[in-house]
Amino acid sequence: MDHTKTFFLDGQEIPFKEGQTVFDAAMTAGVYIPHLCHNPDYEPHSSCRLCTVIVNGRPFAACTQPAVAGQMIQNDTPELREMRRTLTQMLFVEGNHYCPACEKSGHCKLQATAYDLGLQDNHFPQFFPKREVDATHPDFVLDRDRCILCGHCVRVSRDVDRKCVFAMTHRGIKTEIVVDSPTGLLKDSQLTVEDEAANVCPVGALMLKRKGFQVPIGERPYDQAPIRVDSVKNFKVREERRHG
C-alpha cells in the first residue's frame, strides 16, 4: 500500500491510498466536505453536488473524484460555500420541510448541513408541492414531503437488501419516490424492519413508526455535535471497523 502520495486541499497536504476518492482521503485526514447524497457505507452517487470541490481549476464531485498525486483542490472557499448554500436552499423550497414539526429534527442531515452552512433563510419562493404520505405499512411512514431524492433507499434496497422496494419515477421537478408493490403502497411491499434500507434515510422521509421522541429534542446527534464533527468522527469509526 502506497502511503506517500498526497494532494493539496485548501493548502493542506492530504495523504491518500491508491484508488481512494478525494472525499474519502479528506475525511480520513479529518477534513469535512459537505455532502447529502453520499453515505460512506455505500457506493457514491454524486447527484446532490454538495461535495463539489475545485480540482485544478475545474469543479468535480469529491465523492466520486479519484485522488491523484499533486492535485490542487479547493473545498472551503466563499464561492463553494455560496454554491452549497444555494443548493441547500433549493432543496428546502422544493419540498415541504417543517422542521418544528418533524420527528427527524436534530438527526436530519439536511437540517444539520443547513446549520453548518449558516442558512438563515431559503431565499427562493417556496414551491409547497403536494406530495403523498404513505403510512399504510405497520412499521414505516413514507413522507414524501421530506424527501430530498438522495436515492439512498433506492440504492440500499437494490444493492444490499436485494429487494428493489424503492425507485424514482418521472424527471426533473416531478421526480418522486415510488414503491414496488402491486398497489404502489408500502404495506404491500417487501420492506421489513430488518432491511438496511429501513434506517438509511438521511432526512425524515422514511421513518420507523413508534420511535417518535425516544431520543428527546436537545439530545439528538446533531444537538451533541455539529455535522462536520459528527461526520468526520463517524467516518473514522467506520474506517477503523473496516480496516481494523
Partner 1 sequence: MASKLKVATCSLAGCFGCHMSLLDIDERLLDLLEVIEFDRSPINDLKRIEGMVDLGLIEGGLCNSENVHVLRHFREHCRILVSVGECAVTGGIPSMRNHYSLRECLDEAYIRGVGVENAQIPSDAELPLLLDKLRPLHEVVRIDHHLPGCPPSADAFWHFLTELIAGRDPSLPLQLLRYD
Window contacting partner 1 (CB under 8 A); options: 59-67, 91-99, 159-167, 182-190: 91-99
By CB under 8 A, is residue 92 in contact with partner 1? yes
Coil, strand or helix at 12: strand
CB 228, min distance to partner 1, A: 9
- Grid cell of 192 as nine digits: 421489513
By CB under 8 A, is residue 173 in contact with partner 1? no
Integer Cα distance of 164 and 180 in angstroms: 7
C-alpha atoms less than 13 angstroms from C-alpha of 77 in its C-beta half-sphere: 16
In contact, 178 and 167? CB cutoff 8 Å: yes
Integer Cα distance of 77 and 54 in angstroms: 10
Longest dimension (CA), the chain: 55
Chain centroid, CA 14 distance in Å? 23
Calculated CA dihedral for residues 104, 133, 179, 155, nearest 10 degrees: -20
Per CB under 8 A, which of residues 196..235 are in contact with partner 1? Answer: 217, 226
By CB under 8 A, is residue 120 in contact with partner 1? yes
CB 145, min distance to partner 1, A: 8
By CB under 8 A, is residue 122 in contact with partner 1? yes
Coil, strand or helix at 61: strand
CB 124, min distance to partner 1, A: 9
CB 200, min distance to partner 1, A: 23
CB 122, min distance to partner 1, A: 6
Window contacting partner 1 (CB under 8 A); options: 8-16, 28-36, 42-50, 96-104: 96-104
Footprint of partner 1 (CB under 8 A): 92, 96-102, 105-106, 111, 114-116, 118, 120-123, 125-126, 128, 130, 217, 226
